[in-house]
Copies of this chain bind each other. A is one copy, B any other.
Amino acid sequence: MIKKIGLIGLGYIGTTILNAVSEEANENLTIQAVYDIDNVKMKDVAEKHPSIRLMQHVTDFQDCDIVVECAVQQVVAEVFDEIIKSDKYFVPMSIGAFISLPGLFSKYQKLAEIKKKNIILPSGAIGGFDCVETIKLVGIKSAKLQTRKPNRAFRNNSYIESNNIKLNEHSPVVIFKGNAKLAATYFPRSINVAARLALSTLGPEKTLVEIIADPSISKNIHAIEIESEVGKYTFLFENNPSPTNPKTSWLAALSAIYAIKSI
């Protein structure tokens, strides 16, 4: 059976998915419909892929089996209830929405297990969630994310400016230590990774985040540490940038495609 994808958002990740599914002539997946607020992008899809339907609004995905959000956080909130009412699969890329938007995290947490299975969270720029979900059968004691980025990643960050934090050109500086919820507030560019871990572990309040400005590195590095009665687990992700979009970790873009293929 061919699964029909509704794709919301035609930015870098959306376009990557569109191309991956279209070029591969995948026998099990097809792009059924797309949506973007930018009419130029919609027109472009209509010309290149005349068989793809242009959606009229974000919830105009009635003929789709899988809805993929790669737009902005607010779209996750706008489509969430409509998805949950149906049997469709939902692949949200703006996972930060579950931390930033009031109520969305608890709404997700309260879903019945069977409904949760229909929400496929891409692992983003991290991973190891097979291990995390397995440990959860017993329980997690602590969950910590340490994100290291080059100094330039923190240029014009208002938290750093208002707290008068000085970055060092020669050695790493810990610029934030706190929970995922606060991290998301002050460092919006680290939000999806923190939200992804929080969603699968102890939630936005109890999942700990440390952010380090490291002048010695040129890429983003994420380290996860999970403690449990089952054992201690440490995962290190040294991500290269995507060849076509240096702002995004290649792993994050690929994780969207993997999430869809795993359905």
Whether B134 and A127, one on each chain, are in contact in the complex, defined by CB atoms closer than 8 angstroms, is yes
Would you give the 0/1 interface string for A244-262, flagging 1 where the beta carbon is closer than 8 Å to chain B? 0000011100110110001
Residues of B within 8 A of A231 (CB): 219, 237-240, 249-251
In the complex, the count of this chain's copies comes to: 2
Residues on the B chain within 8 Å of A255, using CB: 130, 134
Q: Tell me which of B131, B132, B249, B258 contacts A126 (CB under 8 A).
A: B131
Q: Which residues of B contact A138 (CB under 8 A)?
A: 250, 254
- A 175-231 contacts with B by CB, 8 A: 219, 229-231
Roughly how many angstroms separate A254 CA and B239 CA in the complex, as a whole number?
A: 29
A137 at the B interface (CB under 8 A): yes
Q: In the bound complex, do residue B137 and residue A127 qualify as a contact, i.e. CB atoms below 8 Å apart?
A: no
Interface residues of chain A, those whose CB is within 8 Å of chain B, are 27-28, 114, 123, 126-135, 137-138, 219, 229-240, 249-251, 254-255, 257-258, 262
